[in-house]
């Protein structure tokens, strides 16, 4: 059985419209489930590092709830120290 990558096929449309029903929605559902495992009560806090460039695209970012802050820090270590110092 051969495997195919999305780069094997011509792109029709843009990242906002392609693969949303069959790929993006199930994938983002799993990401959000994983994020939810970090927080079990109202007082819990978590820093989660998502290291895939696709999370920068609006087609993916729109699936995150409003109360989740997404940023791309220049100094990840400094940001994490600041987060856990609160």
pLDDT (tens digit per residue) in 9-48: 445 556 555 556 677 888 899 999 998 898 888 888 889 9
- What pTM was estimated for this model as a whole? 0.64
Q: End-to-end distance of the chain based on CA atoms, in angstroms? A: 52
The pLDDT of residue 15 is 56
Query: How is the chain split into domains, by residue range?
Result: 6-85
From the list 83, 42, 5, 14, the residue with the least C-alpha distance to 71 is 83
3-state SS of the chain is CCCCCHHHCCCCCCCCCCCHHHHHHHHHHHHHHHHHCCCCCCCCCCCCCCCCHHHHCHHHHCCCCCCCCCCCCCCHHHHHHHHHHC
């Amino acid at each position: 059985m051969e495997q195919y990558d999305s780069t094997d096929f011509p792109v029709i449309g843009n990242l906002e419209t392609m693969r949303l029903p069959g790929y993006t929605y199930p994938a983002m559902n799993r990401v959000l489930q994983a994020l939810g495992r970090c927080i079990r009560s109202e007082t819990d806090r978590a820093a989660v590092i998502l290291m895939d460039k696709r999370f920068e695209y609006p087609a993916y970012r729109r699936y995150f709830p409003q109360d989740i802050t997404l940023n791309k820090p220049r100094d990840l270590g400094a940001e994490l120290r600041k987060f856990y110092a609160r």
